[in-house]
Every structure is written in C-alpha cells, then in structure tokens.
C-alpha cells in the first residue's frame, strides 16, 4: 500500500480493495491505527473487511507467509495447533 498517514486516507484505500486484500492490508496496520481506520470505514466496508477475514483465501495467504512477517492475530486457530492437540489427547488417553 502506498504511504498514507491519515486514517481516512487508509480507509479509502482499503475500501477499494477486494475483501481478502482489504483484510490483509488491514491486519498489517498497527493496532491503534487499525482501530482508527476501522472507525473511518463505512458500515458496508466494515462488513466486507470482516467477511474477508473469514475467507479461506485470507487464511491460506497467512499460512503461507513467513511467520516473522505474518500478522500476529488470526480469526481462527492454526491447523498445526489443532493437530498437536489431537496428538496430545491420543497420547494421554491411550489406545
């Protein structure tokens, strides 16, 4: 995304993106700025942004990213965590 400094400029830019691209750009913002940007979005664009975060394509991109550059939060648990939990249950519960 180009160098934008004002929350309303960033919100306008994000509103022009696809749902998934908007979600990825939004998640790359610092927390305080993200809050300001979200408040600047129209309700319709807020819903589109949230929908983008539920798309499989969004999660696929996050899973393929380098962990050091991926956004910290995700709206659903990573598959590796649930797999590890399943393996731990099987080990502690026995055959």
- At 75 the pLDDT is 42
pLDDT digits (tens, 9 = 90+) for 36-92: 999 999 999 999 999 998 888 888 887 887 777 655 554 443 444 344 444 444 444
The closest alpha carbon to 48, from 60, 38, 62, belongs to 38
Please count the CA atoms within 13 angstroms of the CA of 22 that sit on its side-chain side: 25
- At 69 the pLDDT is 63
Between the CA of residue 68 and those of 4, 21, 81, what are the distances in Å?
A: 23, 19, 18
The structure tokens listed for 14 are: 């994000």
- At 2 the pLDDT is 46
The closest alpha carbon to 14, from 51, 50, 49, 58, belongs to 49
pLDDT digits (tens, 9 = 90+) for 23-39: 999 988 999 999 999 99
- Mean pLDDT throughout 3-15? 86
The structure tokens listed for 8 are: 């309303």
Q: Quick count: other Cβ atoms within 10 Å of Cβ 53? A: 20
């Amino acid at each position: 995304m180009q160098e934008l400094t004002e929350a309303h400029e960033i919100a306008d830019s994000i509103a022009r993106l696809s749902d998934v691209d908007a979600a990825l750009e939004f998640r790359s913002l610092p927390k305080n700025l993200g809050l300001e940007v979200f408040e600047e979005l129209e309700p319709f664009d807020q819903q589109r942004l949230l929908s983008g975060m539920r798309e499989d394509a969004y999660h696929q991109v996050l899973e393929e990213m380098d962990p050091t550059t991926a956004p910290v939060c995700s709206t659903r648990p990573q598959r590796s965590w649930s797999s590890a939990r399943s393996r731990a249950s099987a080990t502690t519960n026995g055959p």
